[in-house]
Amino acid sequence: MVKSLRTSILLLFMGLCFTGFAVADEKATKEECVANCKAAAQMMKEIGCESMLKKINDRNGPFVWKDTYVFCIDIKNGWNLAHPIKPGLIHKRLAGMRDMDGKMFFAEFIKTAKTRGEGWVSYKWPKVGEIKPSSKITFVYRVPGEDMAMCAGIYE
């Protein structure tokens, strides 16, 4: 009986572990990035900037899903306003930040938001929990009427 109970508990534990890996391995899509950036911009209009930035900064909140997240930037002054995964980037001026290939990708986010209102930017960035950079594309969506943009990306 005890052996059977141990075996059952072990199997349950293993099942939970493998289920967790399956969920963690889910990849976000371009369509989800677009939809979540636009939803974040709309919600900002409804609940206000400060409340929205708190929601975005919540690592367990609605704007972190699968293997990606929404972050928010100031397109007037080049500041990162919200980032749920790397809080050390919040309130940092990143306009001059370069990727491993020397591309000023944050400046490109700003340019895309200002000139087109929305679009995709490609660059190199480490995956969550990694150091080595990988190819990434990020959707940038200007919050209508504001000097802010919502961004979310996927790895290629």
* pLDDT in the model for residue 21: 32
The pLDDT value given to residue 128: 73
pTM (2 d.p.): 0.82
Q: What is the pLDDT along the chain (156 residues), one digit of tens a residue?
A: 444 433 333 333 333 333 333 445 799 999 999 999 999 999 999 999 999 999 999 999 999 999 999 999 999 999 999 999 999 999 999 999 999 999 999 999 999 999 999 999 999 988 878 999 999 999 999 999 999 999 999 999
Q: What is the pLDDT of residue 25?
A: 76
Give the span between the Cα atoms of 108 and 21, in whole angstroms: 34
Give me the pLDDT at residue 59, please.
Answer: 97
Determine if residue 91 is left, alpha or beta; phi over 0 gives left, psi from -120 to 50 gives alpha, anything else beta: left
In the chain, what is the straight-line distance between the N-terminal and C-terminal CA atoms, in Å? 50
CB-count burial class (<10 Å; 0-12, 13-18, 19+) for 88? exposed
Q: Are 106 and 95 in contact (CB under 8 A)?
A: yes
Domains of the chain: 27-155 (3.30.450.20)
pLDDT score recorded for residue 3: 43
Q: What angle do CA 144, 145, 148 make, to 5 degrees?
A: 75
